[in-house]
Amino acid sequence: MEETFLSTVVLPLAIVIIMIAMGMTLTIADFRRVLSEPKAVAVGLFCQLIILPILGILIAFILPLDAVFAVSIVLLAASPGGTTSNLVSHAAELDRALSVTLTAISNMVSWLTIPILLGIALRMFPGPSGNGDFPVGDVMVQVAALTIVPIIIGMLIRRFAPGFAEKTKNASKIFSGVFLLVVIVALVIQNWEVVRTETPRFALAFILLNAVALFAGLFIARASGLGKKQSTTIGIETGLQNSTLSITVALAILGNTAMTIIPALYGIWMLATGFAFAFYFNRGAE
C-alpha cells in the first residue's frame, strides 16, 4: 500500500494520544489488583491472552477466507482490550476495577502478543498479506512505541498532574470515540468496493469471533467460581478488542489497507453486542 498521511502520521499520533489518555486513568493500584484479586485477574488474562487468540486462529483456519482477511481476524484476536470495554463495563455497572486492570495489563503486554501471533498467522496464511519472513523483533519495538511508552507517559501525568488528568478525562473519551468513528467511515469509503463485494464472505468470521469470545469469557469465569458481575466483565474484556490499535498496526506497520476492513466493521459491531451482552447478563447482580 502506498504510504499516506493517514497511515504514517494521523493514525500513529492518534493511537499514542489515546494510549496516553488511557494511562492517565491508571494508577499502580490497578496493577496491584493482580495480588489483591489474583483469581479474577488470572481468569480474565487467560481468556484474553490465551483463549481469544486460539479462537481467532481456529476461525481463520476453519472458514474459507482470503489470506488477508484470515490474518486480519488473528490480528483482531491478538489485540488487547480497549477503552470501549471500560466504557461498557462502566455503563452496565460491572466490575469497573477489574475491567480497567485487565485492559491495562493486556495493553502493556501487547508489544509481545501482537507480533508473535501475527508472525504465526502470516506463516499459516501466506499471500498478499505477507510472508514467512515477518520481522517479529522490529514489530515488537513499533507496537511498544504505540502502547507501552504512551501508557507510561499517561501514568506519569496522572502521578504528577492529577488535576490535569481528571479535567481531560471526559474529553479524551470523546476524542477516542469520535476518532474511531471518523477512521471507520474513512476506511469504509476508501475500500467501499471491497466492503460491498467481500463483506458477505468475511462477516461471519468477525461476528463469530465476537460472539464466541463473549460467551467463552463468561462461561470460563463462571466455571471458575466467579460471580455474575465479574464473569460478565471478563466476557466483555474477552469479546471487545481495541480495533483502533488493530487498524493502526495494519496500516502504519504492515502497510495493508485491506487488513483494516474487518477491525473497522468490528468496531461498530462490538458496540451493539457489547452493551446488549453486558446489560442482559448482569441483570440482578449485586
Question: Tens of pLDDT along 36-56?
Answer: 889 999 999 999 999 999 999
Are 208 and 59 a contacting pair, CB within 8 Å? yes
pLDDT over 70 for what percent of the chain? 94
Residue 124 C-beta-side C-alpha neighbours within 13 Å: 21
Record the cell numbers describing residue 3, joined without a space: 504510504
Element containing residue 33 per DSSP (H, E): helix 28-36
Sequence-separated (6 or more) residues with CB below 8 Å from residue 169? 21, 24, 25
Q: What is the pLDDT of residues 86-112, one digit of tens each?
A: 888 878 888 888 888 898 899 889 989
Break the chain into its structural domains and give their ranges: 5-279
Evaluate if residue 130 carries a pLDDT over 70.
no
Q: How far is CA 286 from CA 38, 42, 225, in A?
A: 20, 22, 15
pLDDT, position 196 = 83
pLDDT, position 42 = 94
The reported pTM is 0.85
May I ask the CATH architecture of the domain 5-279?
A: Up-down Bundle (1.20)
Record the cell numbers describing residue 68, joined without a space: 488477508
Q: What are phi and psi of 134, to 5 degrees?
A: -75, 125
DSSP state of 127: B
Collapse the DSSP code of 130 into the 3-class scheme (helix H, G, I; strand E, B; otherwise coil) and give the result.
strand
- Comparing 33 with 242, which gets the higher pLDDT? 242
pLDDT, position 1 = 40
Evaluate if residue 10 carries a pLDDT over 80.
no
